[in-house]
A and B are shown apart, each in its own frame.
Chain A
Amino acid sequence: MFLQQLINGVTLGSTYALIALGYTMVYGIILLINFAHGEIYMVGSFIALILVVSYKVNIVAAFFAAMLGCMILGVLMERIAYRPLRHKNSNRLSALISAIGVSIFLSNLVLMLRGPQTTRFPDVIEYQFYSIGPAQISNLQILIIVISAALMLGLQYIVMRTKVGKAMRATSMDMQTAYLMGINVNRIVAITFAIGSSLGAAAGVLVGIYFNAVSPLMGTMAGMKAFTAAVLGGIGSIPGAMLGGVLLGVAEVLGVAYLSSSYRDAIAFGILIIILLIKPSGILGQRALKKV
């Protein structure tokens, strides 16, 4: 029983981790909570759904198409809603409100186009179950964990080993100085949004297949939980987001199993508030000193 819950928790948690990466990357670079990130995840799920159902596209192709589509959406969003604010040097509250605006706009746009009902995601993978002791793990769960892990490793490679990654880290440390050193900061921010959004879309498709359901309102809650995961791990830290995601997924599944399912959504927020009170910098985050 416990092992089974643990497996389910890790599966759910790895999708949270994928979404959390988008939050943490954007926050690390421009200190903005990108509220609309949850909506990117939802749009990614819909792109794959529509491609698979209406155009009979192979699921693998649909997966990459969703990632690409959301990459474009993410860059577009940054260009329209965030960059003008950055150039005006307006305060951070404005950027946050703008992000909330984008989030509401996107979720209601999809709501209008598709209606509020939950759509079933077609069975694209034949289920097989393998038993580990008393517990069972499905091939889909293995696939989700493996794909998530691969994407995270890929991201870690980009950030730590490539020139773009180096520029991203420099921008995150100090945008002004990075700019003076000849880094095209706007391009780096756009790339950050592109990568973060594509990871969010990947999570969207995986969750769509896993829970067999896609709805326009799925983004808000998942987004808030993934943000919690990012804070739990230490916002701005990429390994932190991965750790936070998995921990949150496990905590939520265990909470539902052993406490009560009606408080499912409150568990994540309860954890969030406790973390914020005890250690706002998260498990792996560094405390930032405020310069005056």
Chain B
Amino acid sequence: MINAYYLQVLTIMGINVIMALGLNLITGVTGQLSLGHAAFMSIGAYAAAILTLNYGAPFWLALLFGALVAAFFGVLLGFPTLRLSGDYLAIATMGFGEITRVILLNLDIAGRALGISGIPHSSNFSTVWILAVLSIVTMVFVGNSRLGRAFLAIREDEIAAEAMGVNSTYYKIQAFALGSFFAGLGGGLYAHYITYLNPSDFGFMKSIEILNMVVLGGMGSIPGTILGAGVLTAVPEVLRAVREYRMLFYGGLLVFMMIFKPNGLLGGVHFSTIRNWLIRIFKGSAGSPAGGSRGGTGAGEDAKTRVQEG
């Protein structure tokens, strides 16, 4: 049924979902524009690959290690820079991204400009999507927790959040650590799927590509981010002609989205919203118009019991 090509596209899509969810937590939920997400991805990818190649570590351990190293760098970058306000932060993360790339280009253990090749092909469709689903669940869980509410408060108004007792620097670092963790996880999966790493694959444009997924889908929305990652992975594959103009299209898309639909395709839509839609549709089509109320009270009660799922 599914041939190898589709399987590959779907696997890459899963990796992109994981990384985009990480960025969504930083940029969409917490409102801190990061332009260096590819750097965290590359850190995770290189760390995991070096661990499996040079030290013969098992795949899962390497993945975890890569993600943790990325998270560590997220904290390291976060401590000094997160005291900066929006624009400065964006530019500092961009600088961090470039520095990471230049360092990888000059690091012996990372194979310098040649990169690393011959990484064992350990990721496949199912490992990627199991982790993607786990990431989605984690994100929903975080979104509904005290942590997630603090993130949202910082995005909406940092000063007001501070006044309410939210230590914004502390929570911003948490957001960075978590977001970088998922970037690193995605990077590790990517390394063990493509089996070849090169610093030039993790430049500024890669960060923009991931940012585009979040922006298109809807900043702050988990279903939106998944949709964005899915669409922007599939479209260049489906429309081969578009591929050459991909970056041109991405640039135009960013401007277009910001002017006409800054909230993205699914801005403000959460899983609970979607479930309510489904219930409404289901109840509507299942008939019983006498029972009426178009899924009003029934859905409300249902939502109460399943609120943890987001």
Contacts and interface: CB of A to CB of B under 8 A. Distances in A.
B258 A85 contact: yes
B198 to A, nearest CB: 16
B99 A98 contact: no
A112 interface: yes
Nearest to A109: B248
Interface of B: 27, 31, 33, 35, 80-81, 84, 86-88, 90-92, 94-96, 98-99, 102-103, 105-106, 159, 204-205, 208, 211, 215, 244-245, 247-248, 250-259, 262
Contacts of A98: 254-255, 258-259
B99 A266 contact: yes
Given A97-B33, A97-B211, 17 more contacts: A90-B258, A98-B259, A100-B35, A101-B251, A101-B252, A104-B205, A104-B254, A108-B247, A108-B251, A111-B247, A262-B105, A266-B102, A269-B99, A273-B81, A276-B84, A276-B88, A276-B91
A97 B95 contact: no
B248 A97 contact: no
Name which of A93, A102, A224 has the most chain B CB atoms within 10 A of its CB.
A93
25 contacts: A81-B255, A90-B262, A92-B86, A93-B33, A95-B258, A97-B211, A97-B215, A97-B257, A98-B258, A102-B255, A104-B250, A105-B248, A105-B251, A109-B248, A111-B247, A220-B204, A227-B91, A266-B102, A269-B99, A272-B95, A273-B99, A276-B84, A276-B92, A280-B84, A290-B159
A100 B258 CA distance: 11
Contacts of B211: 97, 100
Contacts of B255: 80-81, 98, 101-102, 105
Contacts, number: 120
A231 interface: yes
A72 interface: no
A93 B251 contact: no
Contact of B86 (A93, A106, A272): A93
A85 B259 contact: yes
Q: Is the interface of A mostly helix, strand, loop or mixed?
A: helix
A200 to B, nearest CB: 18
Given A263-B106, A269-B99, A105 B31 contact: no
B190 to A, nearest CB: 22
Contact of A97 (B91, B94, B102, B258): B258
A154 interface: no
Nearest to B87: A33
A273 B254 contact: no
Contacts of B84: 276, 280
A33 B251 contact: no
A285 to B, nearest CB: 12
Interface in A58-91: 80-81, 84-85, 90
Interface string A103-125: 11111110110000000000000
B98 A266 contact: yes
A57 interface: no
Interface of A: 31, 33, 80-81, 84-85, 90, 92-98, 100-109, 111-112, 220, 224, 227-228, 231, 262-263, 265-266, 269-270, 272-273, 276-277, 280, 290, 292
B1 to A, nearest CB: 37
A269 B98 contact: yes
Contacts of B204: 220
Contacts of B251: 100-108
Contacts of B259: 81, 84-85, 98
A227 B92 CA distance: 11
Nearest to A277: B80
Given A101-B255, A108-B251, A263 B98 contact: no
Contacts of B252: 101, 105
A124 to B, nearest CB: 31
B81 A276 contact: yes
Name which of A84, A97, A105, A107 has the most chain B CB atoms within 10 A of its CB.
A97
A55 to B, nearest CB: 26
Contact of B208 (A104, A263, A277): A104
B264 to A, nearest CB: 11
Nearest to B96: A273
A265 B87 CA distance: 21
Nearest to A291: B159
A80 B159 CA distance: 32
Contacts of B256: 101
A100 B209 CA distance: 12
Contact of A96 (B81, B87, B159): B87
Name which of B80, B92, B258 has the most chain A CB atoms within 10 A of its CB.
B258
